[in-house]
Amino acid sequence: MNRKALLLIVMLILPALACKALAPILNPTQETHVEDPSDTMLPDTSFPDRDALPNSSGIDGVQTFPDKSYYHNHIEVVEVPNSDIPPAFGAHYSAWQNCGIYDQPVELGNALHSLEHGAVWLTYSSSLPAEDVEYLRSLVRGNDFVLMSPYSNQVKPVILTAWTIQLVIDSLPDDRIEKFIAYYANGPQNPEPGAPCDGAIGFPIE
């Protein structure tokens, strides 16, 4: 091979390598922190359908829901239901929300994925007094599998949600909050034991 042909090959290869190296920088949705998306709404056979779990926590008021395989699909658009209560399951984005404390609402599609990883999502009314918000933060602070944020349109002071599990809190203080977190944070409802709740989307304030 003569020098001119070799130089031509090098000139063709170098730009391609440079683009590949820059891709993670130019693309903020790089796939290092997401799971493979599904192109369809076909059931994910790795998650078989199961009946609602019994309320084995001993906590009064806990509701449980059946777990369907299609809840585990990854989709591009997640519609927020017109409800003042967050859903406890559902198809979701391929990236999860980093667990921690947020002072602004988070994307539902990311939060649902966190639930699938075993997180407890503590949502609170945006009208909750500051001292009550701080009280809640003191209960969740330092827990690697709790996501805390206000939820748009929520009327109840606090709602605790895990994957297919939910507890509505009507007034504060309530000792069931700590019990729910202790039992369900990375608890028996977790369909993906060992999955993380960090390294993905979001910057918690704590």
Domain boundaries, the chain: 36-184
What's the chain's average pLDDT? 84
18 vs 84, more confident: 84
- Positive/negative CA dihedral, 41, 111, 104, 204: negative
Average pLDDT of the residues in 62-83 = 93
Q: Is the pLDDT of residue 9 over 70?
A: no
Indicate the pairing of strand 158-162 with strand 146-150.
Answer: unpaired
Q: What's the distance, CA 66 to chain centroid? A: 19
The three-state secondary structure class of 182 is: helix
- Measured distance CA(187)–CA(62) in Å, rounded: 14
Reported as a single tens digit per residue, the pLDDT across 24-63 is 322 333 343 455 544 444 455 578 899 999 999 999 999 9
